[in-house]
Homo-oligomer: A and B are copies of this chain.
């Protein structure tokens, strides 16, 4: 395949051109000290102006390492990259990749199958994103025994997992709305990432957090709709909210993107945010501080998560065993998209938060 009928220059070509063995050429690149001055220079020079480059796959095969880590993504690239969450995560991972001279392979499902994609991928280890414990891809990772770190998932006997305190963050978010006086709430849930799978572990934990606060306050059953983490999905979710007397006064979204899309749709429909509708997001993406009004949301340390995952994977690739760390802290960031519902006196707003992990902050400079 390719119009390059000019066959690639191999190590053998360089060797014969320099009148030495393949070994010598290989040494010139990998163990220069094992060669004499003269030969070293001659080989290197010849290699350069012949335009020789070691074939990466051949190298990977004989060295048993490819210098690449795979990022296993259970969704289509076009949808998952619509959420800045992934950019942030990659920023964190990227720092460590650069530090360790690794490149990063994006591995989305091929032909609908993650397992197929895993086979293709020539990598030294995987970081997997949001995989359900019963995903077949996970089983495959265990079988082939490749170093793996799970992010936003559940630790398996073989692989460590990195998580944030999803439940605590969600609980703080719900408690915040309850403290403000809201009783009629809606939840915008994350969809399952893979067809006919249940909720992702992350979604489940956030659900649990919301419920914990709601149950404690004896709030009425929240209306729940599902929306992908995109603005358009969030806007669609707004349409799905009950109208009339069961109209929610507050919305708990499991992603900032859905929250922002929903806020836009609400505003287009003539609602005032937060007066007519309070909205709390999840993630605290950079853009959450820039919407109008700025979004109240649960911050999770996404970049740090990426860093940590990469660091742990690199340890595992070196053969060291590593244990799952404690979940990273989440924290509620109160901005302008939440207020007491219409009809509730504003003084309530000044109530001290009952949970200790809230933080009020404005737009970060």
Contact = CB atoms under 8 A, between A and B. Distances in A.
Interface in A131-158: 140, 143-147
Interface residues of A, number: 79
B121 A56 contact: yes
Interface string A293-309: 00000000000000000
B65 A1 contact: yes
B120 A98 contact: no
A60 B103 contact: no
Given A82-B87, A87-B82, A321-B3, A105 B57 contact: no
A110 B100 CA distance: 9
Contact of A56 (B55, B119, B140): B119
A295 to B, nearest CB: 10
A229 interface: no
19 contacts: A2-B317, A3-B321, A8-B144, A51-B143, A56-B119, A56-B121, A60-B60, A67-B120, A76-B94, A77-B93, A78-B92, A87-B87, A98-B108, A101-B111, A103-B108, A103-B117, A105-B106, A264-B290, A264-B365
B58 A78 contact: no
A147 B321 contact: no
A61 interface: yes
B105 A68 contact: yes
Interface of A: 1-4, 6, 8, 51, 53-58, 60-61, 64-68, 76-78, 81-82, 84, 86-88, 90-95, 97-98, 101, 103-111, 117, 119-124, 140, 143-147, 231, 235, 260, 264-265, 268, 286-287, 290-292, 316-321, 363, 365
B56 A122 contact: yes
A333 to B, nearest CB: 17
